[in-house]
Amino acid sequence: MKPSDASSKVKYAIRDVVLEAKKEEANGNEVLYLNVGDPAKFDFSPPKWITEEIKKALDGPYKSYAFSTGDGELRKEIGKVEGCPESQVFVTAGLSEGIDFATRIFMDAGDSILLPNPTYPLYVSKTKVIGGKPRFYECDEAWVPDPEDVRKRIDETTRALVIINPNNPTGAIAPLKVLKELGDIAAEHNLPIFADEVYDHVILDEDAEMHKMKDLVRDVPVFSGNSLSKNFFYPGARVGYVAIHNDYEGKFLDAFTRMCNQRLSVNWEFQRGAIEAYKNGFGFNGPYLDKLRRRRDIICKRINEISGLSVARPRAAMYGFVKVGGYAGSDWDFVYQLLREEGVLVVPGSAFYKNHPEELYFRITLLPDDDTMELAMGKLESFMNRVI
Ligand SMILES: Cc1ncc(COP(=O)(O)O)c(C=O)c1O
């Protein structure tokens, strides 16, 4: 008896590092968790109108399976946000499930998918489970995708182009010109685009412009992926969606419907709460963004003052991707040594497939409160002064 080889391809270091942190805690050592992007673990909570609607729904007629493609009213509300009819909207268990379904309908074993470098790791796991090949395109110093590199990586096995904007782990926002170029390249090569825009309302720089791919591309299908997890600070709801634009032949719409049918439905009561989320919109998030911005500023200032560390200022999302210079060892060595010696937990850059062995990175979350941030920065500074 043994589990499948495919299951061994699933890796999620963001969670794996926690096991080591728990061991430290079991030994009586305190740990500052700067590894996760879960806002509800810190001082962020979803708007009341969502949770109140869920409470009401628990006493309502929502005990059966919902429609597999999602509650009709929710699809309609999401359709208004996405500018498409509800028939193009699919409700999924978080965007994670949307990524799973999309990956499976894009490719078969031996096919490849283009991902940004660094990338959100789930795309790699899903691709490998299918027997497909993740291929990475480069980003510049500010973590903006390089369209020329995207072009170079396309071959006859390429089945889709993934754009994560704003990006996790870097917090970068891609400018309009670059997004248009990526759209043109996808159109030239007849590739569908998966636009992961799960942080599109977590924009920290007030002058930053966020453009959705579906507004820039007409010639090839654009899958817009989103969720309650980040934009509404409610990852535990497990409600997300994929809206498929420009699928003129309807083949992807049909395939995505089949993916939804095989898992029957997403929790209905939570979908009812999501209706309120999209009805009330994103106007609530000003104070949330103020907090994140303040913490981003603390991190950027402090990290860029520490010898051996630098970070490109994240313009959005909940993370900074920190470059380490002068450390003799791998990024995993760095992360575990930092945990053991200072009790600070971060995620190694290679967990996001940053695939230059000569460059070391780690990802830090912007979510913890200001005092924790200051404390963690002090610990990071004394660590760096010792190890480089
Ligand atoms: C870029 C990106 N895409 C997708 C997801 C998955 O989101 P969800 O919680 O909606 O499954 C995350 C979660 O961290 C993410 O950062």
**For the segment 178-188, what is each residue's pLDDT rounded down to a tens digit?**
999 999 999 99
CATH code of the domain covering residue 371: 3.90.1150.10
Q: Identify whether the C-beta of residue 49 lies closer than 8 Å to the C-beta of residue 237.
A: no
Percent of the chain's residues with pLDDT above 70: 99
User: What distance in angstroms lies between residue 198's CA and the mean position of ligand 1's atoms?
Assistant: 6
| 98 in any annotated domain | yes
Question: Within a domain: residue 1?
Answer: no
Q: At 220, is the pLDDT very low, low, confident or very high (cuts 50, 70, 90)?
A: very high
Q: Is 348 a domain residue?
A: yes
Q: What is the pLDDT of residue 51?
A: 98
Q: Are residues 66 and 14 in the same domain?
A: no
R_g of the chain computed on alpha carbons: 21
pLDDT band at 16 (very low <50, low <70, confident <90, very high): confident
Is 270 contained in some domain? yes
Considering the domain architecture, whether residues 258 and 380 belong to the same structural domain is answered as no
Q: How far apart are CA 95 and CA 260, in angstroms?
A: 13
Burial of 146 (0-12, 13-18, 19+ CB in 10 A): middle
Looking at the CA of residue 235, tell me the nearest atom of ligand 1.
Answer: 9
- Same domain? For 298 and 256 the reply is no
User: pLDDT band at 76, cuts 50/70/90?
Assistant: very high
Exposure string over 106-124, b if 16+ CB within 10 A, otherwise e: bbeeebbbbbbbbbbbbbb
Query: CA-CA distance, 186 to 217, in Å (whole number)?
Result: 9
Same domain membership, residue 238 and residue 357: no
Confidence at residue 354, expressed as pLDDT on a 0 to 100 scale = 82
Q: What is the pLDDT of residue 188?
A: 98
Q: How confident is the model at residue 49 (pLDDT cuts 50, 70, 90)?
A: very high
Q: Write down the pLDDT at residue 319.
A: 97
Q: Is the pLDDT of residue 355 over 90?
A: no
* CB proximity list for 81: less than 8 A, separation 6 or greater: 278
270/238 Cα distance (integer angstroms)? 8
CA 193 – CA 184 distance, rounded (Å): 11
Paired with 115 in beta bridges are 136
Q: What is the pLDDT of residue 172?
A: 98
User: With a 6 A CB cut-off, is 240 part of the ligand 1 pocket?
Assistant: yes
Same domain, 10 and 87: no
Q: Closest Cα partner for 42 from 233, 259, 220?
A: 233
Domain end marker among 238, 265, 283: 283
Please check whether residue 162 lies inside any domain of the structure.
yes
| pLDDT at residue 54, as a whole number | 98
Q: Return the minimum-mean-pLDDT range out of 93-107, 283-297, 331-345, 357-371.
A: 357-371
pLDDT band at 11 (very low <50, low <70, confident <90, very high): confident
Residue 359 has pLDDT above 90, yes or no: no
Do residue 147 and residue 230 come from a single domain?
yes
Domain final residue, candidates 283, 303, 332: 283
Cβ(198) – ligand 1 distance below 6 Å: yes
pLDDT at residue 15 in the model = 75
We report the CATH number of the domain holding residue 168 as 3.40.640.10
Which residues lie closer than 8 Å to 67 by C-beta, 6 or more apart?
A: 265
CA 52 to CA 269: how far, in whole Å?
11
Structural domain span for residue 325: 6-45+285-387
- Residue 326 pLDDT level (bands cut at 50, 70, 90): very high
pLDDT at 322 over 90: yes
Q: Could you tell me if the CB of 118 is within 6 A of ligand 1? A: no
Mean pLDDT of the chain: 96
Give the model's confidence band at 94: pLDDT under 50 very low, under 70 low, under 90 confident, else very high.
very high
pLDDT grade, residue 277 (50/70/90)?
Answer: very high
pLDDT, residue 12, reads 76
Q: How many residues does the structure list for the chain?
A: 388
Whether residue 364 is found in the same domain as residue 261 = no
> d(Cα 214, Cα 68) in Å, to the nearest integer?
24
Does the pLDDT value for residue 225 go beyond 90? yes
Give me the pLDDT at residue 26, please: 95
Average pLDDT over residues 321-328: 95
Give the nearest ligand 1 atom to 226 CA. 10
Residue 239 has pLDDT above 80, yes or no: yes
* Statement to judge: residues 271 and 290 lie in one domain: no
Q: How much distance in Å is there from the Cα of 109 to the middle of ligand 1?
A: 24
* 31 close to ligand 1 (CB < 6 Angstrom): no
Answer whether 171 contacts ligand 1 (Cβ < 6 A).
Answer: no
Mean pLDDT of the region 342-352: 96
Q: Which of 167, 166, 179 is nearest to 217 (CA)?
A: 179
Query: Shortest CA distance to 227 belongs to which of 168, 185, 176, 172?
Result: 168
Is any ligand 1 atom within 6 A of the Cβ of residue 235? Answer: yes
Domain match, 191 and 142 both: yes
96 lines ligand 1 (CB under 6 A): yes
Atom index in ligand 1 nearest the CA of residue 227 equals 10
Which pLDDT belongs to residue 29? Answer: 94
> Which phi and psi (to 5°) does residue 324 adopt?
-115, 130
Those residues whose C-beta lies under 8 Å from the C-beta of residue 43, and which sit 6 or more positions away, are 291, 369
Whether residues 236 and 352 share a domain: the answer is no
Strands 222-227 and 89-92: unpaired
Residue 8 clears pLDDT 90, i.e. is over it: no
| In the predicted structure, residue 14 carries a pLDDT above the cut 90 | no
Domain end (from 283, 313, 342):
283
The number of distinct structural domains making up the chain is: 2
Is the minimum distance from the CB of 229 to ligand 1 under 6 angstroms?
yes
Residue 228 shares a structural domain with residue 332:
no
Q: Does 361 lie in the same domain as 226?
A: no
